[in-house]
Amino acid sequence: MSEMLKVAVLGARGRMGTAAVAAIEGAPDMELVAALGRSDPLDTLVEKGAQVVVDLTVPTSTEANVRFAVEHGIHAVVGTTGWDAARLASLEKLLAGRPETGVLIAPNFALGSVLATRFAQQAARYFDSVEIIELHHPRKVDAPSGTALRTAQLVAKARADAGVPAAPDATETTLVGARGARVSGIPVHSVRLAGLVAHQEVLLGSEGEQLTIRHDSFNHDSFMPGVLLGVRTVSNRPGLTVGLDGYLDLEG
Ligand SMILES: NC(=O)C1=CN([C@@H]2O[C@H](COP(=O)(O)OP(=O)(O)OC[C@H]3O[C@@H](n4cnc5c(N)ncnc54)[C@H](OP(=O)(O)O)[C@@H]3O)[C@@H](O)[C@H]2O)C=CC1
Ligand SMILES: O=C(O)C1=N[C@H](C(=O)O)C[C@H](O)C1
């Protein structure tokens, strides 16, 4: 019988962390060796022999957590938001000195969300206009969502690669924010509403037609197959991977 994979969770008492702890405990090939909160020392990861750490914390904590893991040769699967270009570049530099260590930064672990973003990328070049609406529970700490940021960046790149100009927007706003925030030129609108979990719509429009690509996560279990896929794969993918699509075969 092959060895159990020793896995630790950071942010273990949060919404995502609680679901991840249960998923890892239920996985036949994994052993949960640590479930840590904000006040627990990171040294526990080393003491417990963690091979993979799952970071589901907060944007202000995640970078230090991941750097600690990489410095100690522990692979990291990261769902926490807040990984901007500067943080990613700095992490890549660190990983260059640790060529055997893998890090997955996944803005969204839900398979449907990953597919929705891919479909939006494919559709982006064919429409005059594109806007993104992300809708989440009101206790979410950040806006816009990490998923919306990545979707907007990928959609903008797909349009630029195809030579499609940004949609003209002559609207004069009488209130700041009325047209959302611009991410790589794409308008992104954030809704925070009691009762919601995690949802996103990419609206694509041309004269006389509209395509809406919508994904809904109705609970946190929806993210767990992606978390487990990340944990099982990360040690075979040294270096930095951004997006769970990097671990999936979405071609064809
Ligand atoms: N990639 C994906 O598919 C998904 C990503 N997310 C992202 O995951 C992150 C967590 O979301 P969610 O679970 O809803 O948030 P929660 O606020 O429910 O949980 C965050 C937890 O992290 C803990 N924490 C904070 N700092 C540290 C630290 N340094 N070490 C260990 N634990 C720490 C908090 O503890 P305390 O309460 O003591 O501060 C809290 O329990 C967010 O960035 C969110 O956007 C969410 C859903 C899906
Ligand atoms: O905080 C959340 O809930 C979520 N965060 C991630 C994000 O910001 O995109 C993933 C998902 O949308 C849920």
Per-position pLDDT tens, the chain of length 252: 579 999 999 999 999 999 999 999 999 999 999 999 999 999 999 999 999 999 999 999 999 999 999 999 999 999 999 999 999 999 999 999 999 999 999 999 999 999 999 999 999 999 999 999 999 999 999 999 999 999 999 999 999 999 998 777 888 899 999 999 999 999 999 999 999 999 999 999 999 999 999 999 999 999 999 999 999 999 999 999 999 999 998 886
Q: Identity (one letter) of the amino acid at 63?
A: E
| Atom from ligand 2 closest to the CA of residue 145 | 8
> Is the CB of 192 inside a 6 Å radius of any atom of ligand 1?
no
Residue whose Cα lies nearest atom 38 of ligand 1: it is 38
Which residue among 10, 38, 62, 105 is best mutated to probe the pocket of ligand 1, counting the most ligand atoms within 8 A of its Cβ? Answer: 38
The three-class DSSP label of residue 202 is: strand
Distance 67 CA to ligand 1 centre (A): 17
Which residue among 57, 61, 105, 196 is best mutated to probe the pocket of ligand 1, counting the most ligand atoms within 8 A of its Cβ? Answer: 57
Which ligand gives the minimal distance to the CA of 59? 1
Query: Per DSSP, what are the bridge partners of residue 209?
Result: 206
| Atom from ligand 1 closest to the CA of residue 81 | 43
Domains and CATH numbers, the chain: 5-105+220-247 (3.40.50.720), 111-217 (3.30.360.10)
> Is the CB of 107 inside a 6 Å radius of any atom of ligand 2?
yes
Upstream peptide bond of 144 is cis (omega within 30 degrees of 0)? yes
How far apart CA 116 and CA 35 sit, in angstroms, is 31
**ipTM score for this prediction:** 0.99
In Å, what is the CA distance from 24 to each residue of 27, 85, 173, 185, 199?
Answer: 5, 30, 48, 39, 25
